[in-house]
Amino acid sequence: MIRLEVRRVIVFTTNFAAMRDFYRDVLGLELAEEEDGWADFDAGPIRLAIHAGRGGGSGEAGAHKITFFAADVEAVRAELIARGVKMGKVSRFDETAFCDGHDPDGNRFQISNRG
């Protein structure tokens, strides 16, 4: 049985610096991590991430993505595919594994082992 937890909401933007500054300086969220085009904020029980990239549109590169934590991304991906969910391939960046899927309306979501 899969048990997923929302750990992160990713907001895509073409105006990265302004978005990062807004969430950090105006709303006062603590910047937990920043890399090129990526800002991860401590927003209580979840993280809010700002990611440089194009926004808008459903499915392909929407303006947001809900990320669910899964310790074993490959196993959860296989289970979701067995349930009829359209899932992409598992990608890796150092220790982080992640995989995107789409809900019935074409909205992207992600499963990731990134805490």
Which pLDDT band holds residue 58 (cuts at 50, 70, 90)? very low
Cα torsion 65, 112, 40, 15 to 10°: value is -40
DSSP H helical ranges for the chain: 16-21, 73-82
The torsion of the CA quartet 95, 77, 2, 51, rounded to 10 degrees, works out to 60
State the pLDDT at residue 59.
44
| Percentage of residues in the chain having pLDDT higher than 90 | 63
Global pTM? 0.73
How far apart are alpha carbons 16 and 54 in whole angstroms?
10
CATH of domain 5-112: 3.10.180.10
Q: What is the pLDDT of residues 63-114, one digit of tens each?
A: 788 899 999 999 999 999 999 998 999 999 999 999 999 887 788 899 999 9
Q: From edge to edge, which strands make up the β-sheet containing 30-35?
A: 30-35, 38-43, 46-52, 5-13, 64-69, 108-112, 96-102, 91-93
Q: Where along the chain do its domains lie?
A: 5-112
